[in-house]
Structure 1
Amino acid sequence: MTLLDCVDPPRSRVAVRRVSCIPAGFIACGRFAWRPCVDGVEIIHRLDTSSISDAAMIDGLQCLVDRGVLAGQHDFEEAALGVIRTSAPDEDRAWAAFYDNSLAELAGGRSPFAPIHRRARSLVVGASVLEVGSCFGFFALQCAGDGHRVHACDISSGAISLLRSAARRRGDAVTAVVGDATALPFDTGSVDTVTLIHLLEHLEDDSVRDALTEALRVARRRVVVAVPYEERPSEHFGHRQQLTEHHLRQWSSRVNHSGAEFFDDHGGWMVLTPGRAAE
């Protein structure tokens, strides 16, 4: 569960507001500035509907993580949501700008995730695709733009609600549902390609095996996996494992499939062929 799903969220440690200029008493840190307060930290930013995006938000918060201002996933998520929600006078306008600008960055290659999404889209085969662990659903929305029949699944009901709203507003046909990667709410062999893009690093080893088994069950033709290679797991993103190609090959040996390919491209990739695809 993320902060998007909390009916009664934990007591706030992070306060966020948008300003036109940085006032005295704040410490500049990249795109943002901050100061300590009695119960935590206050963060200010100048992002608005013309500049708010996933890449801009992460870039600004990464500086605060590196400085030790933000610690752990809860602080990071609280700050991220605060930045997005305060980028416009109302939340609907803020989220609309966040989605539109983030997708434009990905399409124009200006986002650090652009090459990852581009490679993942090139690996989709068939007419239908399921993105598991969709989060905000940028990849799912891009696949819909490519003309695929798109399904998206995430354990966070808040993220799924945001994706549904964005898809409806943009006119993109994406069917988004709440579900666990280790118990997918989809029929066997119901989708051509299943993707797990930067998801497995969030799971423990036993759950990784279950997630891959489920993806192979649902996929008719291909399962596409991408993971980051990090010197240490990014705790603020909720990463639990430091991964190498050895992990990908080990995982592939623990599930039933009819073929596996491995390669590097801005991290590690594994492409699995379900057993039924060879029949």
Structure 2
Amino acid sequence: MDRLVRQRPRPVVRRATSLPAGFATCGEFGWRHQAHGVEIVHRLDAATISDSTMIAGLLPLVDLGVIAGQDAFEAAAVGVIRTSATTEARGWAAFYDNSLQELRSGDSPFSPIHRRARSLILGDSVLEVGSCFGFFALQCAEDGRQVQACDISAGAVDLLIGNSRRRGAPVHAVVGDATDLPFADDSVDTVTLIHLLEHLDEWAATTALTEALRVARLRVVVAVPYEENPSEHFGHLVRLSEADLRGWAGTVGHAGADYLEDHGGWLILTPPG
């Protein structure tokens, strides 16, 4: 999130009740090229903004080449959220509330992944590493678990803290690097890395797993997407398969590894000792 604030130039995003003339139409979104770059118009509002509707609106623009790269995609996404309501704060609140409702109801494409991850948690306490907006951490807190979260982005952590307080779902969120977790040894029952390792190179992925095993008492849960091509706009660096999961398991110390396939790949590790 901090990177998005510094990035220049970035797409200009605004909301309109109807798509104006001169814009190419793509669902609830429209776009046009200008001298300063691309201008995007959308019709999402506080009732309809969510992680899934925002992504569904932007992905066709990626396919068309209107948005290219992670920085432009994230800047456009943040722009859509900020302009979806009468104030930025209301836009973020609606984004969180609607996204969490969709994840709970099964209407989000990510619902099966979060449901599976929550089913794999052992114990009462959980740490989400690479939490981003923190939707998974918030669901775990609303399930009654003791939840911590960390992300490398201070902006994302601030958003999670604010919405955790607003929703009354306690999450202790801090800025932290997956390769150097700011948590003590054996301090959390389950550590999750949900759709994180595809963002990392080989050294960082192995180090992140080692760190997760250091912090976890009972279990480490890893989920990765299986893609034909890494999604550059999401910041995915590598194409992963079960062979990669098994390779990681072979390079870190653990007391057992299990593998699943459910909307991507899963690696469940038992910490040593």
**Partner residue in 1 for 2:269:** 272
Q: 2:133 aligns with which of 130, 133, 136?
A: 136
* Pairing partner for 2:143 from 142, 146, 155: 146
SS in 2 for 1:195: strand
The DSSP-based 3-state class of the residue aligned with 2:6 is coil
1:173 maps to: 170
Q: Distance in 2 between matches of 1:62 and 1:218?
A: 36
Matching residue's letter, 1:262: Y
* 1:25-44 alignment runs, 5 A limit: 25-44=22-41
What does the per-residue CA deviation read over 1:200-244, in whole Å, with 9 as the maximum and x for residues that have no partner?
000000001100000000000000000000001000000000000
Letter in 1 for 2:165: R
Equivalent residue, structure 2, for 1:219: 216
1:202 aligns with 2:199: yes
Shift of 1:30: 2.5
What secondary structure sits across from 1:275 in the alignment?
coil
1:105, 1:10 → 2: CA distance?
Answer: 30
Q: For residues 46 and 112 of structure 1, do their structure 2 counterparts lie closer, same or farther at Cα, with a shift above 3 Å needed?
A: same
For the aligned residue pairs, the C-alpha RMSD in angstroms reads 0.9
Change (3 A) 1:8 1:54: closer
CA distance in 1, matches of 2:101, 2:43: 20
User: CA 1:272/1:8 → structure 2, altered by over 3 Å: closer, same or farther?
Assistant: closer
Is residue 245 of structure 2 the alignment partner of residue 256 of structure 1? no
Question: TM-score by structure 1 length?
Answer: 0.96
Q: Which amino acid aligns with 1:19?
A: A
Q: How does 1:93-172 map to 2 (within 5 A)?
A: 93-172=90-169
Give the match's secondary structure for 1:21.
coil
Residues 93-120 of structure 1: per-residue CA shift (max 9 Å, x gap): 1110000000000011000000000000
Q: Is the 8 A contact 2:30 2:41 kept in 1?
A: yes
Give the match for residue 230 of structure 2. 233
Post-superposition offset of 1:24: 1.1
- The equivalent residue for 1:58 is 55
Of 71, 74, 77, 1:77 maps to: 74
**Secondary structure of 2:54 counterpart:** helix
TM-score (norm 2): 0.98
Q: CA deviation at 1:7?
A: 9.0
Secondary structure of 1:233's partner? coil
* Structure 1 residue 17: Cα displacement: 0.4
Distance 1:10 1:44 in 2: 20
Report the CA distance between 1:8 and its aligned residue.
6.1
The alpha-carbon deviation at position 158 of structure 1 amounts to 0.3
Checking the alignment, whether the CA contact within 8 Å between 2:126 and 2:189 is kept in structure 1 is: yes
Equivalent residue, structure 2, for 1:193: 190
Could you list the runs of 5+ residues in structure 2 that have no partner in the other structure? none
Q: Alignment identity in percent?
A: 65
Give distance in 2, aligned partners of 1:69 and 1:162: 28
Give the letter for the 2:270 counterpart. Answer: T
Q: Secondary structure at the match of 1:129?
A: strand
Q: Distance in 2 between matches of 1:94 and 1:243?
A: 34
CA distance in 1 between counterparts of 2:170 and 2:21 reads: 48
Is 1:67 aligned to 2:64, yes or no?
Answer: yes
| Aligned mates of 1:213, 1:22 — CA distance in 2 | 50
| More moved, 82-91 vs 24-33 | 24-33
